[in-house]
Copies of this chain bind each other. A is one copy, B any other.
Amino acid sequence: MYRQRLTIDTRGRGTYEITRQVQQVVERSEVAEGLCHVFIHHTSASLIVCENADPTVRRDLETYAARLAPDGDPSYIHDAEGPDDMAAHLRSILTLTSLTVPVASRQCDLGIWQGIFLWEHRTSPHRRRITITVVGDEGEPD
């Protein structure tokens, strides 16, 4: 088992690709065949696997989220940290706090268009903590 923690400083709401950082941890782990687990220690930012070639996908995703879980909805009671507070929790719950990817031949075995993204749901910049855990063995699979 190999573990590494990352800190990502976001510039506020939006998607931040972390595929390269996750890949670097897998390389350092020396695990050849296994699984890579990514976890975000927050409830107002989340993880997604998303198409990483065309940035309009992530622009549309943001537009969509604004409709699916809008800021400042009059039904929200929880607004301690502003109109984006409850919207951020909802978007986090509808996406992921943890995800796991196969490791094959010392690489994250992602599909050709798959990237791993941190999705910051708060409008202001935040420092986000991520833990990456790699399990498996250094040889070939059975």
Contact = CB atoms under 8 A, between A and B. Distances in A.
**How many A residues are at the interface, by size bracket?**
35 or more
A43 B141 contact: no
A59 interface: yes
Number of copies: 3
Interface string A66-94: 01110000011110100000100110111
B50 A102 contact: no
A99 B99 CA distance: 8
Contacts of A110: 41
A64 B33 CA distance: 38
B100 A43 contact: no
B64 A142 contact: no
A50 B93 contact: yes
Given A89-B51, A133-B35, A98 B99 contact: yes
A50 B61 contact: no
Given A102-B3, A142-B1, A49 B59 contact: no
A111 B43 CA distance: 8
A110 to B, nearest CB: 7
Nearest to A67: B75
Given A1-B34, A94-B94, 10 more contacts: A1-B137, A1-B141, A3-B104, A39-B101, A50-B93, A54-B78, A56-B77, A60-B77, A61-B90, A63-B75
